Structure 1
């Protein structure tokens, strides 16, 4: 059975330690903050005691700027046979490790594509990585045993391994993670000077779009600084798309019918390409054309209502693919949107209405 040292007991490190401990792995925790270690250990993620000998794998889960120095110190100490990290950017890190003369044969880069707005060990979950991609970026020198050990880590955490080069990884996460985070922050920033009445109208669209803007700014400065060039290039491309979109909207506001028609075509093209891009995001039915629709159910703010709703919806025999809750402003009520296959909407609605639920 694999043995491991997890260095860094924040959200990702503690979640990995929890996942490994739940699978019977002996996990030893290290952190500059003794309280963080005690907190993580109290959750059942491992022990704060040092291992008696060399462990199989050291997982470095510290801020990106610290990974190189920590990894070199661990290798000098001879803590583990193999080493990996969880930093969100890999290209610059590989260069740093080379400059520090780290043993690259026993190192493989890693990046679990999971996280949360909250940080620290108390935000950790043993199932954080279930079904999520976990990128592994072997260097030219990484040996096969190190790769296999990292693959075992990923499997024990319930994630799906994706092996790719460091540069390809950095471009990919810039597109699907780093750039969207900045865009969410820019949109949320527009709310800081908005009138209170305008903000009070916020609904699910703005909430969903700005959710990740609640993350720790200091952590994200570290992440973005390691991938700044890639993200800047992507934002320049986005800026060009925004210019096109603005031009289309200006044309739609013109008095000339031909200009308005052209503007509408531009905006429709933007929206259609958005549909196409959104459809490419993998899901559990990836590769199969499944169309979804939402069943909107009015719900009160009383204990047990969500459980009762799910029980009653389950009586239809239809699988609930996703769920979203929208709170009513200033009222102890809300709307639950149950996402189901489009052809099953009528069956779910009829079942819920028979059980006394009000639909919207």
Structure 2
């Protein structure tokens, strides 16, 4: 295809979710993608899904992407740098300081290495869950260091852009601090919250709504992989969790004595601080825009959700986000549609005129 930036042959080592998704996206662009993996069956599965082809003796990749677990990232990067002396090598591990320091200690050629990190993923891993559009609109961090220039690493930026992601330049230390705040600590908090559900009765869990699902969704992630990630970025994660622990202790003390003079203020300030934090999260595609949510009741029968989305399109409204809430005990679901504020009132009126029932956005 003539709209791609990458001209190089690309070798991907590791054919799990990220590796296979990169392969699918680049292959769709017409890039010659080589897929390799320590597990022949895992590699064969990724190739069967269309992520690339098997290695050949005359391969000469210009770019190597290492997509393996964090505990072996530096080993594989070092091996690829040595095996392909003309290739630029990147990795997609979610920690950047540890691999760089290990490679530097080994005396690896850091002038051909730039770590990167796509801020995208799914709860389920493996090639079976891979998607060519996994990275579209998502940040992809290029974790710079003194031994290589961004100009020398231009092929990595081309890869990012070909996959529809947004390249962001960031120092390795800044990267690890940032992901501790926005990814690693939230993973632990979600997992710890979800662990409390083990003690819940069936009737209690049957009351679960979208709020609980939103706050525990990532708790379904792979524990073995996350043990490696958390261990590799432990100090930065602990620095996020310590203040959280102190704030949690303060709120618990207020709940223990809710009639005390300062208790309600303490709780209110904690909730308001949460409002402030959420307001700082960028919206769609990183834009600093706030959206208005419309909640539409959708009957639990084939074709209803599709009809709703079609009719929103017929009204000429761009849907910025969509969430579905459905209780197994009911015959209806709720579609929360996020739109620009100026589109909310006209869309609500149009949907009601078409026979849809709108609910309060806050449930």
Scaled by the length of structure 2, the TM-score of the pair is 0.92
CA distance in 1, matches of 2:48, 2:301: 32
> 2: distance between equivalents of 1:284 and 1:308?
24
Select which of 118, 124, 148 maps to 1:118. 124
Q: Distance in 1 between matches of 2:138 and 2:94?
A: 15
Contact 2:284 2:320 in 1 (8 A): no
Residues in 2 aligned to 1:291 and 1:212: alpha-carbon distance in whole angstroms: 24
Q: How does 1:176-255 map to 2 (within 5 A)?
A: 176-251=182-257, 253-254=258-259
What is the root-mean-square deviation in Å for CA atoms of aligned residues? 1.8
- Give CA deviations for 1:221-244 in whole Å, capped at 9, x if unaligned: 011110111111211111111122
For residue 21 of structure 1, what is the aligned residue in structure 2?
27
CA contact under 8 A between 2:14 and 2:67: conserved in structure 1?
Answer: yes
The CA deviation at 1:323 is 1.2
Is the 8 Å Cα contact of residues 283 and 290 (structure 2) preserved in structure 1?
no
Contact 2:138/2:285, CA 8 A, preserved across alignment = no
For structure 1, list consecutive stretches of 5 or more residues without a partner in the other structure: none
Contact 1:68/1:100 (<8 A) preserved: no
Contact 2:326 2:333 in 1 (8 A): yes
- Number of residue equivalences: 353
Quick check: 1:109–1:138 contact (8 Å CA) kept in 2? Answer: yes
Identify if the C-alpha distance between structure 1 residues 62 and 74 changes in structure 2 by more than 3 Å, giving closer, same or farther. Answer: same
Aligned residue runs from structure 1 range 1-360, under 5 A: 1-50=7-56, 52-78=58-84, 81-251=87-257, 253-254=258-259, 259=261, 262-284=262-284, 290-360=289-359
Asked whether the 8 Å contact 1:9–1:120 carries over to 2, the reply is: yes
Q: 1:47 deviation in Å?
A: 0.3
Using the TM superposition, name which of 121-130 and 324-333 deviates more. 324-333
Q: Which stretch of the first structure deviates more once superposed, 336-345 or 192-201?
A: 336-345
Contact 1:106 1:143 in 2 (8 A): no
Secondary structure of 1:312's match? helix
Deviations 1:202-231 (A, max 9, x none): 110110000000001001001111011111
Tell me if structure 1 keeps the 8 A contact 2:26–2:163.
yes
Contact 2:66 2:90 (C-alpha < 8 Å) held by counterparts: yes
Shift of 1:340: 2.2
Please tell me whether the aligned partners of residues 111 and 135 of structure 1 are also in contact (alpha carbons under 8 angstroms).
yes
Pair 1:287–1:133, CA change in 2 (3 A): closer
- Cα distance in 2 between the residues matched to 1:143 and 1:359: 54
SS in 2 for 1:52: coil
Is the 2:292–2:340 contact (alpha carbons within 8 Å) kept by the matching residues of 1? yes
CA distance in 2, matches of 1:58, 1:341: 41
Contact 1:54 1:79 in 2 (8 A): no
